[in-house]
Amino acid sequence: MVIFDNLVVGAGISGATIARISAERGERVLVIDRRSHIAGNCYDYVDENGICIHKYGSHIFHTNNEKVWNFLNRFTDFNTFTLRIVAVIDGIEAPIPFNIGTLYRVFPQSLAEKIERKLLEKFAYNEKIGIADFQKQDDDDLKFLAKYIYEKVFYGYNQKQWGRIPSDAVMARVPVYVSKDSRYFQDKYQGIPLRGYTKMIEKMLDHSNIVVRLCADYKEIKEKFGKIFHTGSIDEFFDYKFGQLPYRSVNFKLETHCREFYQSGAVVNYPCNYDFTRIHEYKYYLGDKSEKTVIAKEYSEPFESGKNERFYPIDEECNRVLYEKYIAEAKKNNSLRFLGRLGDYRYYDMDDAVERAIDLF
C-alpha cells in the first residue's frame, strides 16, 4: 500500500492549491474527486466548434492579491480580458453595476444630467455608494434613483437568484459607481487562463508527489493519512447529523447558434424579463474563432441532493449557527481541516479560495 502524508478531497482550485504546496514541501499527496474531471466548478473544455466552454458558468479571474496572482502565474499565462456586464432594463442594454454611463442609457438626457450633477455634488468621484444612502438624502431625485435601481436592476434578479424577496440589509449593499468606469471588477489583475482553467489546474496537480483519483468517494479510501484537507460539503461529511445546510444551485442550458455572435458581450443580465437570470456567451473570453457560437442560459434553483450541484451558500443567521455546530465537530479531529466554498460554507471568488488554501496550509 502506498503511504500518503495528506489526503485532499476535491480537485478544484482550493484542493489543487493545497496539494501543490504540500507536494513542494516533500509530502506525498493523494487528491480525490467524486466527479469524472478535475478543476471543480472552474472546469472548462473545448467543444466541437473550437469554443472553450465554462461548464459551470462564467469564471473571470480577478484579484488585487499579488501573492495569489504570482502563485497562479507559475501554472498559466492569463489574457487581459476585462468583464463588462450589461443588463436589459426596459428593453435597453445598460452597464451594470449602475454608473454615470448607465444614467445616460436609461434616462432622458436632461434627467441624467440633473442626477449626475447631484451625485457629484454630494459624493466623491470614483466612489461606490450603496443605494440605501440615497434614501437618506433630502432629495427626491436621488430617492427616485434608489427606487429605480432597486426595482429595475436588483429586485427581480435577486428574487430569481435566491428565490426570495431581498431584505433591506441586502438592498443596502447594492452599489452605484459615481464614475464612468463600466468594468464589473476593478481589481489590478484580471483575465482568463490562456489555455483554460482545467489546463491550469492540471499543471498545478502535475507533480511527482501528487496522485489524482477521479470518480472516487472519500468513504471508499482505504489508505491512512497524516492530515485530511476536505473541500467538500461539511454537513455531508458528518452524514447531516445536525441537519442539512441549504444552498442555491444553478442550471445552465447550452444552445449553439449558427452565427458569429449571439449578444453584445460575454454576459447579459435579465433582471425583469424571462425566467433565466443571465446569458453567457463563451467566445468572448479567449477570442475563439468559429462560424458558430455557444451560449448558456442560467437558471437558479434550490439545491437538491443527487439532482444538481451546490453553488451558493445561503447567508442567514440560522445557517451560520448550524455550520458552527459542524465546525465544532470537525475540531475534535486534529488531523482534519475543511476549506473551500463547501467546507467553509462561504462564497469565495477564486482568488479568495487560493488565498484561503495558502494561509490554511
What are the boundaries of each domain within the chain?
6-38+205-245+314-360, 85-177
Say what the pLDDT of residue 2 is.
67
Q: What is the pLDDT of residue 310?
A: 97
For residues 271 and 253, is the Cβ–Cβ distance under 8 A? Answer: no
pLDDT of 165 reads 82
Answer yes or no: are the C-beta atoms of 193 and 81 closer than 8 Å: no
Report, as ranges of residue numbers, the positions in the chain whose pLDDT lies below 50: none
- What b/e readout covers 200-212, taking b as 16+ CB neighbours within 10 angstroms? bbbbbbeeebbbb
Q: What is the CATH number of domain 6-38+205-245+314-360?
A: 3.40.50.720
CB 132 within 8 A of CB 146: yes
Q: Enter the pTM of the model.
A: 0.95
C-alpha 244/C-alpha 186 separation (Å) is: 36
Strand order, beta sheet including 278-281: 92-96, 85-89, 267-269, 278-281, 293-302, 247-257, 312-313
Residue-level pLDDT at 35: 97
Q: What is the pLDDT of residues 193-251, one digit of tens each?
A: 999 999 999 999 999 999 999 999 998 888 889 999 999 999 999 999 999 999 999 99
Strand-pair category, 293-302 with 247-257: antiparallel
**Burial of residue 66 (number of CB atoms within 10 Å: 0-12, 13-18, 19+):** exposed
Cβ count near 223 (within 10 Å): 10
